[in-house]
Amino acid sequence: MNNFHKFKSIFIVIISIIIIVGCAYFKSFKEGLTNNDTIVLIGDSVLNNSNYVPAGKSVVDVLKTKTQNVFNFAKDGATISDCYGQLDKIPTDLNTTETYVFISAGGNDILNKRGQLTSAEIRKLFNDYMDFVKALRVKLGSAKINILNLYMPANPRYQSYKSSIDQWNQLIKEYSSKIGEMYTVVGLDGLLTSPNDFVYDIEPSETASEKIANVIYLTQ
């Protein structure tokens, strides 16, 4: 009888440990990336907005309160062509299934045209973007690639860009479904909608930093 009770106690302890570990894992999975995952940021000021917010309030700063495995290669003002230089700086040892790459590009290319682009011009820029994504996939074949679409600034002065941004976001969505698992779309267009999300009319604010960092961290 004593042996039975001893076995029963050990069994209960083992089951309890399994349940606790399982719950902890499930909680971590639901809450976002794990401590073993690495975040790589490529692109423009949407991901590197440190020039526009108080110290410690950028997207990168907020991300680092959640995980220390953050590699930021994004630069303020970067265009699609600038992303190749950022790609060159990424260590090859980040080519793992635990690496999550987030790209924000195209917005400055559209803004630099200073006016409404034709459908053909948007498609040409988009094709350039996809060429970069393919180059990224060659270097980081095991990583999970995530593309941030473009948000619409709240200030009405940017209304003339709406059709270009809408077409751009539609192309990102359509192309993702055509090529399968090459990348996942992260929608900023429905996330940054309030005037409080912007500083200098168009740059992500302190509030936006929280939103962008959270959607990145919760990406699976």
Placement of tokens 């976002």 in the chain: 32
Q: How far is CA 190 from the centre of its chain?
A: 14
Residue 71 · residue 38 · CB < 8 Å: yes
- The 3-state DSSP class for residue 38 equals strand
pLDDT at 83: 98
Residue 45 · residue 107 · CB < 8 Å: no
pTM of the model: 0.84
pLDDT at 13: 42
DSSP class of residue 91 equals -
pLDDT at 2: 53
Q: What is the mean pLDDT of each run of 10 residues along the chain (220 residues)?
A: 53 45 38 80 98 98 96 98 98 97 97 88 97 95 96 94 96 82 91 97 98 92
Task: Give dist(CA 41, CA 77) in Å, integer.
Answer: 14
Q: How far is CA 32 from the centre of its chain?
A: 13
Residue 95 sits at φ, ψ, to 5 deg, of -80, 75
Count CB-CB contacts under 10 A for residue 19: 10
Rounded to 5 degrees, what angle do the CA atoms 60, 63, 67 make?
A: 125
Residue 121 sits at φ, ψ, to 5 deg, of -70, -40
